[in-house]
């Protein structure tokens, strides 16, 4: 077996074990493989090992990769910040965007989604632990933003995403993830029918799953350590 096959198997086993501990069905949690900084052939190898959903942060790098891998039936998720001058590329090339935290960005994505493509699937990024400079909408503003985003014609609001600071232990991580879950639940209490709670990474996916995550975004545990230079 290749390293990527072994790593994918190990991560899926962690997801299954975490679901079991949490009393959840393991098909409630989707694995998003975060392939930022890795070459297209690495993504192709992960696809050959059974993985279909990939997350990317750097738009330019991602668009090149998506274009080179067009022949494969992959699902691409934008999980990095989206500047206004990048919304068109994102709307043209991605299937999902997890990082919507301003109405303006959402409006541009909706306007720029090419006719003929299905609605762009989006999550509202919520900031539950950082200062005002951190990306993500503050929890108390998330519901209002979600309602506006849900009304845009070429977007389909799927849920909530968050990237909390690394926590020192499991209980602390769970407490922070629970704040994200509360935002998600509040939206559904308003009848929004959301199904995606995107939280948890290589180091904290167990705590995220314990707290209700439905999509874990895992890079390092699948592909190994990154050299952080965006290309």
Binding site for ligand PLP (CB under 6 A): 34, 36, 57, 79, 163, 201-203, 217-221
CA distance 158 to 122: 6
**Contact call for residues 15 and 33 (beta carbons, < 8 A):** no
Least distance (Å) from ligand PLP to the CB of residue 82? 12
Q: Pick between residue 75 and residue 154 the one whose CB is nearest to ligand PLP.
A: 75
Task: Name residue 55's beta-bridge partners.
Answer: 34, 77
Least distance (Å) from ligand PLP to the CB of residue 55? 6
Q: Pick between residue 62 and residue 145 the one whose CB is nearest to ligand PLP.
A: 62
Q: Pick between residue 71 and residue 225 the one whose CB is nearest to ligand PLP.
A: 225
Q: Measured at CB, which residue is nearest to ligand PLP? A: 219
Using the 8-state DSSP alphabet, how is residue 94 labeled? -
CA distance 215 to 203: 14
Least distance (Å) from ligand PLP to the CB of residue 219? 3
Burial of 122 (C-beta count, 10 Å sphere; 0-12/13-18/19+): buried
Unique residue bearing structure tokens 């900031």: 127
Q: Pick between residue 56 and residue 149 the one whose CB is nearest to ligand PLP.
A: 56
Q: Pick between residue 114 and residue 205 the one whose CB is nearest to ligand PLP.
A: 205
Least distance (Å) from ligand PLP to the CB of residue 216? 8
Least distance (Å) from ligand PLP to the CB of residue 163? 5
At residue 201, φ and ψ (nearest 5 deg) are -130, -165
Using the 8-state DSSP alphabet, how is residue 49 labeled? T
């Amino acid at each position: 077996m290749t390293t990527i096959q072994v790593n994918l198997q190990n991560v899926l086993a962690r997801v299954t074990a975490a679901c079991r501990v949490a009393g959840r069905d393991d098909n409630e949690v989707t694995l998003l493989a975060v392939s930022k900084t890795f070459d297209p052939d690495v993504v192709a190898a992960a696809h050959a090992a059974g993985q279909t959903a990939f997350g990317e942060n750097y738009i330019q790098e991602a668009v090149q990769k998506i274009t080179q891998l067009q022949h494969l039936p992959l699902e691409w998720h934008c999980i990095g910040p989206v500047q206004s001058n990048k919304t068109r590329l994102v709307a043209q090339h991605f299937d999902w965007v997890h990082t919507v935290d301003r109405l303006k960005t959402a409006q541009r994505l909706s306007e720029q989604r090419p006719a003929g493509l299905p609605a762009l699937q989006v999550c509202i990024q919520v900031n539950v632990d950082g200062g005002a400079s951190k990306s993500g909408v503050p929890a108390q503003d998330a519901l209002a933003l979600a309602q506006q985003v849900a009304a845009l014609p070429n977007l389909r609001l799927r849920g909530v995403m968050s990237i909390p600071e690394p926590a020192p232990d499991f209980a602390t991580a769970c407490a922070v993830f629970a704040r994200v879950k509360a935002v998600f639940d509040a939206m559904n209490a308003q009848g929004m029918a959301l199904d995606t709670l995107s939280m948890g990474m290589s180091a904290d996916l167990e705590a995220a799953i314990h707290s209700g995550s439905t999509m874990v975004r895992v890079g390092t545990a699948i592909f190994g350590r990154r050299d952080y230079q965006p290309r």
